[in-house]
Amino acid sequence: MLESYVTKKRDKRAALTFLKKALERHGKAETYMTDGLKSCPSAMRKLGIEYRRETGRWLNNRVENSNFPLR
């Protein structure tokens, strides 16, 4: 599980850059838990891994909570 990565911009370009770096360093995973933003699935679609994406009410609590400015 990839914990979190916070950027000032959370658009498709930032998500695509991050996913490419993560895939180079760690390889492909069985599943990817993401939050509800539309930037993640559009970047995953471009890489061809959208079918491995999981979102859910409790599955992505760590991802959703990592977006807060303070922990």
What string of DSSP letters covers 21-50? HHHHHH---S-EE--S-SHHHHHHHHHT-G
Residue among 66, 63, 68 at smallest CA distance from 40: 63
Residue 18, pLDDT > 70, answer yes
Mind listing the pLDDT tens digit for each residue in 33-49? 777 788 888 888 999 88
Q: How many helices (H) and strands (E) does the chain have?
A: 3, 2
* Better-scored residue on pLDDT, 5 or 37: 37
Our measurement of the distance from residue 13's CA atom to the centroid of its chain's CA atoms, rounded to an integer in Å, reads 12
Measure the CA–CA gap between 30 and 6, rounded to whole angstroms. 22
